[in-house]
Structure 1
Amino acid sequence: MEFRQLHYFLKICNTLHFTKAAEELNIAQQPLSFQIHKLEEELGFKLFERTTRSVSITPAGKEFQKNIEKAFWYIKQGTDNGKMISEGKIGKLKIGYNSFIMSTTLTLAINDFKEQYPQVELELQELNSPNLENAALDGTIDVGVMGLIWENHKELNYLEIAEETSCVAIPKKWKITDNEYLELEQIKEQSFITYSPKTKTKSYQDFISTCHYLGFDPKIIQTAETDLAVLGLVASGLGVAFVPYCYKNIYCDLIDYKPIKNHKIPIKIDLVWNKKYLQPKAQNFIELLVKSSRNELDANHLSKIISPF
């Protein structure tokens, strides 16, 4: 049984005329009749009753027609869905993100993605480093958006898409300054709260490096494993902390958020995904987020690290 025979069969069912069916199929009537006869022999029952004046479908032919039409519908549905999956237009996209990313570029990118790809279901999971990188490695997430990185994995691709400015979170009751900015000398002797070196190794190292760049060794009195824990300790009056400026509305009745005058302390926001496999829907999300995060898309760089399909 061949696919073309079934196609010929359905065409005759629709026209009830061999000559007309042959014309619409752009073949001669004789090979059409031959293929239908061959199909009937293989099936073991007649599909059509033919006279010199008419063609009718047998009861067995009608049952066969009903099921073949269903089969053709499923084939078309499967073909359409397969094409949409290959283009990243349907399916489920699993995104991991650092907690503070929702206050930056990710929120707008998600809205844009949902408008452009309405049939892709989004599943977002808040993950802090290193759990986010591990989820990208084992396939729990398709792509991650992160700003606080534990360590770089050689099995992952990292793509910087934006920067977020850091500031110093200070307990309001400390009253270090009423100015909009902090002077560098005003923070050098402060007690600092930062991320745990065990669970956030790279973020801890970046903090130490930043302090050394600013010309002092930080006095660390407490470490914490999450962003909210760091802010909670600051709000409790235990110390100050370097945090993303987008946190400025968290505990704002208890914390002042102030940049350091003449010193920009950036936090890089990176996309991360497994080098071995990048699904089309994830590629679409990456390209959209890159475009929404930059004035100019570095297409050459992006094409080098995104695997072709």
Structure 2
Amino acid sequence: MRKIRQKGCRMINLVKNEIRKTLVGKDNAIESIMIAMLSGGHVLIEDLPGLGKTTLAKAFAASLDCTYRRIQFTPDLMPSDLIGISIFSKEQQKFVFHEGPIFTNVLLADEINRTSPKTQSSLLEAMEESQVTVDGRTLKLEAPFIVIATENPIELQGTFPLPEAQLDRFMMRISLGYPTTDEEVEILTLKENPALINGVITKDALADAIRDMEKIYVDPALKRYIVKLMKATREHPSVKLGASPRASVHLFNGARAKAYLYGRDFVIASDISSLFETVIGHRLILKGEALHKGTGLRNLLQEIVDTVEVPKVSR
């Protein structure tokens, strides 16, 4: 088990070191995406223009020795542009399916809220079951598979807000924020001497890591702690729509992945509470009076964490 723990620490450090060649000060975001990757989840990066959302997604994909596709979401994008289309072949005298960009390991859905709900919904099956259905046939997507989507929260014209069902498919929503003064100076320095990011984690290594992560021990009291947190979101007087059971599963898997990356073979309570905001925040809908009173979502989530008793476990 000690060797397994060392593998987790080594993996995240390798990825961080590669991405630092082109991106500065985003270690927490890198860690979140890696947690989602190991958990079979997907990530929504929501932040202002120009803060490195697309750069982070591209750099993360480059650090993995996996296939990568990017698709720019636009209002005229059709589901077939994403999934693929069957075209009649004169040579074979039959329809031949041509795969779309969704058949990859890492899919960057850039500005996902700029496309219509019809096209957005074509991602639902892929994100939940790692498969797509075309012409009555079910086609499995190669593992690992992760969707990294980006959107700008301040742009409303020409956008289609993601519905609750779509948001619930994303394991995490993260933001990057502005860099510090020193970090921004370093960004300018990196742009003078751009470096090539190498693939440092293979598909086989990822598959091994996922198997190792699934062996991480979670005390029954911590499982109950996760459920109590979910229940608190559903019963809070300021919340109209609370977290779903899918959110419980995502938080459970995320806690195991975080423990693995931090070199432990067991989950602790802080693994759960530290991921609570990124895993749960985008799933909640606040009531009108809460919005009117200016109740911040972050403060509400922290209130829930503070009020739910942390269990005492022996390990």
Give the TM interval when normalised to the shorter protein.
under 0.3
Higher strand share: 1
Looking at CA atoms only, which structure, 1 or 2, has the larger radius of gyration? 1
- TM-score normalised by structure 1 residue count: 0.23
